[in-house]
Structures are given as structure tokens and as C-alpha cells.
Amino acid sequence: MLECKSVSVTHGKKISALKGISLEVREGEIVALIGGNGAGKSTFLRTVSGLHRSDGGEIQFQGRRIDHMAPHNISALGIAHVPEGRRIFSRLTVLENLELGFYLQRGSLKSALENIFRIFPVLKERVFQSAGTLSGGEQQMLAMGRSLMSNPRLLMLDEPSMGLSPILVERIFDTIRAINGRGVTVLLVEQNAKQSLGIAHRAYVLETGRVVLEGKGADLLENDQIRQAYLGSS
Amino acid sequence: MKSRRVLLALLLLAFTAFPLIVRDGAFAYSIRLLGIMGLYVILALGLNVTLGFVGLFDLGFMAFYAIGAYTSAVLSVQGVNFWLATLAAVAVTVAVRLALGAPVLRLRGDYLAIVTLGFGEITRLVLNNWDSLTNGPKGLPRVGEALGTVSLFGFEFTENIHFYYLILAVAALTVVISKNLEHSRIGRAWIAVREDEIAAELSGIPVTRVKMLAFATSAFFAALAGSIFVHWERFVTPESFTFWESVLVVSMLVLGGMGSVTGAILGAILISGLPLLLQASLGGEMIRYRYLIFGAALVAVVIFRPQGLLPSKRRALELETEQEAAS
């Protein structure tokens, strides 16, 4: 579904953030992208959604080249990106946030909203509340809900567990699995390697702009290198 | 929002009736003052699109008023009729605004303010020095030339009251356009861009296109006001388009409430109207204090009512949450 061939990105003139990333996300999968700070995980997502320009390589989505396309056109193809730090419109209401996620869609806003409320019932209770007053977990749900309003084929999540309590992290990961169960392919960027490898079909490990390891989620959980570097046990 | 509609309708009625009542009395001069206030209402609504809705800080808005006014004047002197000259003024102003908008699309906040401030001054200086086209500081029309008159189906606009109704009609038109845009899909996109450009982009909003549309709309309003202004005044010099005038229009939005259509109207009426009325009633002496008066008024508003006198519902909410977050 998403095929990336030696994608590279340079910040400014010198700082090379991605040094030729090749990876693939197949229809129906949950794919995790793990790695430490500065590995290039977020940059990669931002490049796929068109916020960064790649300066080498090729990105294809459903057989169509999407590098060099504008973000709103990429979004229209069915790629939704929940960015790092969620970036909800904190001064607008929950409903307005969700409506903006529906911006490119035709058809019934109401049924789209009902769909979202089925996944995130708490948003329904808060619908007229301004988004900035939601708790961290609710804000993450809103950010995911806003992205799902565009009825995406591929959902890219950047650190959905960031700043959440362990119980909420658990719930967010359950929800990601449920969303995937509804036929949405998921590309997940996480620092929380244990949780994300737990739900991922496959995973890639990034280090300083390169893929250093790839494999099935369960296999990587058993991998010694991974255990030492990311899971904090030997 | 029903009460606001009623308020707007009442205002419109009052402004329609007022000149008919005073036209032969001692206050006939106030028709002219109200006309000037009307022009400022159009300008404030124009700036409200970019500054209020999209949050693009523009300190050189008068440049577009000037370009509209001069385009119309140059053509009118050549014998082009008012309506065609206005159309051309709109086209030229929108084109300049888009051409200027494209390179500054990435700028926000202070940086955009600096660039637009510079552009406002450059425009005035070009008008001041491009003798062959604008007759420089001496203004248009040149000696021996005259601007065309405004006529509609054979009716000639000669008195202040005629222009007053023309301005009232155009102001009402800009109010309707503003209101409709505010509640449209585009309006929501504008507000999303104001709140978070990246999130807006990821939501599928074509940020560049909606910003350009805002630029075009505000230039359209400014050009309309400019073209009417020169035909009414029958004379134009670069002096009318100083940096202070741009600041005045920004102040109108701050006073009335950023992003609020009703607020922009009120702000325009207060800031442009009060000094004029003071001048008319108290004599020329008071005009000296007008900057002092609304300087003080602005400071008071920012301290006691930061959301403006008649804020948009959303903007009020925004400031509330900001204060909550701060406390």
C-alpha cells in the first residue's frame, strides 16, 4: 500500500535527517516504526504526508507516486497523519475539530461523527467543550478522531502514547488495534517499543536516519539487540 | 446570534433614514462624516478577513486602498466611466495583493507585519514619485483634467447624500459577504489556519489557496472603497494613505473585536467617527487630540476588554481558555 524506496531528507543544507529509508506498509497491517530521539521517525511521517520535501528516493501510495504532492492532495488520497504533540485546535470546540477533519469529505457529516463517537464515546460527551480543556488522553482521542473523520485508508500516528498514564496508553493501543480491525492500515511511530511491538504485525527500527532492523513485531520483541536498546532489559 | 441580526438590521434602517431627516438642517454636514465612516467600515471589514479570520498581521493595508484609488483615478481621468474604472481597480488591486501575497505566505506574526508595513510605505513612496502616472505629491487629476462623474441609469451622483447611499450600499454588501464567508466552509478553513497551520494542512485544507482567497477578498473590499473615495473626493494625493491610516484600521479591529464582523463595524464607526464628530461639534481644536483619545481608548480596551467590544463568540472563548491556561 505504502512503498518507500531510499527516501532521503535533508534539513537546511547540511543536516541529513533521513539517509535512504526503504520500507513498506501492506494493506491491513499495523506497522511500527521505533527508534530513539533523532532517529528520523517523525521526519519520515512528515515526509510521507507532504510537510517535508524528500530530496531523493520515491514514495508510492497504492501505486501512485506521492512525493512532491501537496499535503492536502496526499490527505485526499486517504493518508491521515496524527502529528506529534497532537496539534488539536485547542481553542475550537471538539465538534469544530472533528468537522475540520471532515473538510475534504462529501456525504453525511452526521454519520461520520457517529462513527467517531462509537470509537471514542467520551468525545460525544464533550462535543461543545473547547478542545484545550480536554485531558491529555481525550486530546489524543480527539486528534485520532479528527484524522479518522477523513475516512483514511492509512492512518499514521506519531507518538500516540506520549505523556499519557500507563492505563491510558493501554487504552490507546487497544483502540489502535480496534481501528485496524475496521480495515484501516496503521503506521505507528513510537518510543514505547514494548507496547507498539506488541500490537504491530511488522516493525522497522530506525537509527540516525537509517533502517537498521526489520521484522515481525513478535520476533523483534525477542531480539536481544532490541531488548537491550529499547526495552531496558537484557 | 439573533440579537446581532436585529441589531444590524436596525443599524441599516437608522443609517438609511438619518440623512433624509437631517439633509436640510444644520447637521447636513454629518452626512459627509457618515460617508467617511462608511468607507472605514468597508476597509475594516476588508482587513478583518486577513487579520481577523486568518490571523495574518497586516500593517500596510492602506496600500491596497491606495492602489484601488489610484487605478480608478488614472482611468477616470482618461474618460473611463466609474463602474468600469472600479472594476479595473478591483482587478489591479487583487492582482497586486496576490503577487505580494505569494512570497510572504510562509511568514507569520511579527515578520509578516514588518513586510506589510514596508510594502505600505513603498506603495506610498512610489505614488509620490511616479510623476508621469500619478502626478506625484500634487495628486490627481492634474490641472486642466477632471475625474469622471458617477452616474447610474442616467442619474448623476453629485451631492454628499448620493455618495452616502452608494457607500451605504457597498458597506452593506461587504457586511453580507463577510458574514457569509465567516460561516462558510472557507471561513472554517481560515480559522483553522489561524489556529494551527500544520494541523490545518494535515486536515486536508489547501492552506496556500485559502490564504490567497483571503488576500483577494480583502483587496476587493479595499479597492471598492478606494474607487468610491476618489470619485467622491474628486481628488487624490499620496497623503491619504500614510502608515497612520493603516494603524487606524488595525485599531478598529482591536477595539471592536478581532474576527468579529459586528465588532469591525463598531470599531470603524467609533474610531473614524468620534474624532470627526468632535471636530464638527467642538471645532478644529479637538482634532489635535484624536490620536490621544483613541490611543487611551485602545489601551483601556486592551487592559479591560482584550477580546474587543463586540468579539466573535469564538474569539471570546479563545481568550477565556488562554486566561485559564495562564492562571
Determine the pLDDT at residue B313.
Answer: 67
Helical residues (DSSP H) of B196-289, grouped into ranges: 197-202, 207-233, 243-256, 261-282
Instruction: State whether residue B222 sits within 8 Å of chain A by CB.
Output: no
Express as a percent the part of chain A with pLDDT over 70.
Answer: 99
CATH number at residue A227: 3.40.50.300
C-alpha cell at A10: 535533508
Query: How confident is the model over A39-55, as a mean pLDDT?
Result: 92
Q: Quick check: is A125 in a domain? A: no
Determine the pLDDT at residue B319.
Answer: 54
Residue in B203, B207, B314 nearest the CB of A100: B203
Would the pLDDT of B272 be above 90?
no
Q: What is the pLDDT of residues B228-262, one digit of tens each?
A: 999 999 999 999 999 989 988 998 998 888 889 98
Would the pLDDT of A234 be above 80?
no
Instruction: Grade residue B327 by pLDDT with cuts at 50, 70 and 90.
Output: very low
Q: Quick check: is A106 in a domain? A: no
Q: Quick check: is A69 in a domain? A: yes
Express as a percent the part of chain B with pLDDT over 90.
Answer: 53
Q: Measured between alpha carbons, how far is A16 from A176 in angstroms, rounded to an integer?
A: 31
- For residue A56, the cross-strand partners are A8
For residue A83, is the peptide bond before it cis, meaning its omega torsion is within 30 degrees of 0? no
Instruction: Grade residue B310 by pLDDT with cuts at 50, 70 and 90.
Output: confident
Query: How confident is the model over B59-79, as a mean pLDDT?
Result: 94
ipTM: 0.90
Would the pLDDT of B183 be above 60?
yes
Determine the pLDDT at residue B290.
Answer: 67
Domain count, chain A: 1
Q: Determine, for residues A51 and B189 on separate chains, whether the beta-carbon distance falls below 8 Å.
A: no
Instruction: State whether residue B285 sits within 8 Å of chain A by CB.
Output: no
Q: Quick check: is A209 in a domain? A: yes
Determine the pLDDT at residue B54.
Answer: 94
Q: What is the pLDDT of residues A102-152, one digit of tens each?
A: 999 888 999 999 999 999 999 999 999 999 999 999 999 999 999 999 999
| Residue-averaged pLDDT of chain A | 91
Determine the pLDDT at residue B187.
Answer: 94
Residue in B189, B199, B208 nearest the CB of A87: B199
Contacts of B325 in chain A (CB under 8 A): 132
Contacts of A71 in chain B (CB under 8 A): 201-202, 204, 207
Question: In this predicted model, which residue has the larger pLDDT, A11 or B282?
Answer: A11
Would the pLDDT of B98 be above 90?
yes
Lowest-confidence region among A19-23, A131-135, B17-21? B17-21
Would the pLDDT of B326 be above 70?
no
Helical residues (DSSP H) of B78-206, grouped into ranges: 82-101, 109-129, 131-134, 160-182, 185-195, 197-202
Q: Quick check: is A7 in a domain? A: yes
Q: Report pTM.
A: 0.88
- Give the CA angle between residues B192, B196, B202 to the nearest 5°: 80
Q: What is the pLDDT of residues A201-214, one digit of tens each?
A: 999 999 888 898 89
Q: Quick check: is A53 in a domain? A: yes
Instruction: State whether residue B1 sits within 8 Å of chain A by CB.
Output: no
Pairs of CB atoms within 8 A across A/B: 73
Q: Closest approach of chain B CAs to the CA of A133, in angstroms? A: 8
Q: Determine, for residues B202 and A92 on separate chains, whether the beta-carbon distance falls below 8 Å.
A: no
Instruction: Grade residue B286 by pLDDT with cuts at 50, 70 and 90.
Output: low
Instruction: State whether residue A53 sits within 8 Å of chain B by CB.
Output: no
Q: Quick check: is A141 in a domain? A: no
List the 71-90 stretch of A: residues with Cβ below 8 A of B. Answer: 71-72, 75-76, 80-81, 83, 87-90
Query: How confident is the model over A12-36, as a mean pLDDT?
Result: 90
Determine the pLDDT at residue B11.
Answer: 79
Q: Measured between alpha carbons, how far is B20 from B35 in angstroms, rounded to an integer?
A: 14
Determine the pLDDT at residue B143.
Answer: 86
Determine the pLDDT at residue B314.
Answer: 61
Q: Closest approach of chain A CAs to the CA of B185, in angstroms? A: 8
| Residue-averaged pLDDT of chain B | 87
Q: Determine, for residues A92 and B314 on separate chains, whether the beta-carbon distance falls below 8 Å.
A: yes
Question: In this predicted model, which residue has the larger pLDDT, A222 or B81?
Answer: B81
Instruction: Grade residue B149 by pLDDT with cuts at 50, 70 and 90.
Output: confident
Q: Determine, for residues A87 and B202 on separate chains, whether the beta-carbon distance falls below 8 Å.
A: yes
Determine the pLDDT at residue B301.
Answer: 83
Residue A55 lies in domain = 1-78+155-165+190-234
Determine the pLDDT at residue B87.
Answer: 97
Q: Quick check: is A28 in a domain? A: yes
Query: How confident is the model over A155-172, as a mean pLDDT?
Result: 92
